[in-house]
């Protein structure tokens, strides 16, 4: 049976000690989807929203969020992230914006939370910049898509 690593023997929350773990190349990919309207998609594609280039600002917000994850999630380790990439894709047929965040590190612990935080904050930034036009927007399907590295190796949501 799997054991929750953020609980000590007394059941108390604590930061996991990774000091004995070996450094390894680690990658995590996460996504969030913004569900909106045709009008918002058109405004984003033509860069016609008053607040500016929505997808460019969302990319920057996602990168900043990855770097600040340990400040937002209490038991996360502060990490020296090697790379964060935010990819946005407009899914015109369904009026969605798919945001994919990829984080990489050579370290003692994984970057799954950083990728999830990056995707989430990028999606929230899209919401913030477009809410004046579409108050019914939703954010969905925030999830880890894959991770690589560390003792547990690779994992892919598709499998």
Question: Do residues 107 and 80 lie in contact, with contact meaning Cβ atoms separated by under 8 Å?
Answer: yes
Residues labelled catalytic = 128
Measured distance CA(45)–CA(32) in Å, rounded:
19
User: What tokens were used for 143?
Assistant: 């999830």
Task: Give how far Cα 140 sits from Cα of 33, 45, 90, 97, 120, Å.
Answer: 5, 21, 15, 10, 9
Which residue in 76, 83, 131 sits closest to 103, CA to CA? 83
């Amino acid at each position: 049976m799997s054991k929750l690593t953020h609980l000590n023997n007394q059941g108390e929350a604590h930061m996991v000690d990774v000091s004995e773990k070996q450094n390894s190349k680690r990658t995590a990919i996460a996504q969030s989807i913004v569900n909106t309207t045709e009008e918002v998609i058109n405004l984003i594609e033509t860069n016609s929203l008053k607040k500016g280039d929505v997808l460019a600002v969302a990319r920057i917000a996602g990168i900043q969020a990855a770097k600040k994850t340990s400040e937002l999630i209490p038991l996360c380790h502060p990490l020296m992230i090697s790379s964060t990439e935010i990819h946005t894709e407009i899914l015109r047929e369904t009026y969605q914006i798919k945001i994919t965040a990829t984080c990489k590190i050579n370290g003692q612990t994984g970057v799954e939370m950083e990728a999830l935080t990056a995707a989430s904050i990028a999606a929230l930034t899209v919401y913030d910049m477009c809410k004046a036009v579409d108050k019914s927007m939703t954010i969905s399907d925030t999830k880890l898509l894959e991770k690589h590295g560390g003792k547990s190796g690779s994992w892919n949501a598709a499998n």
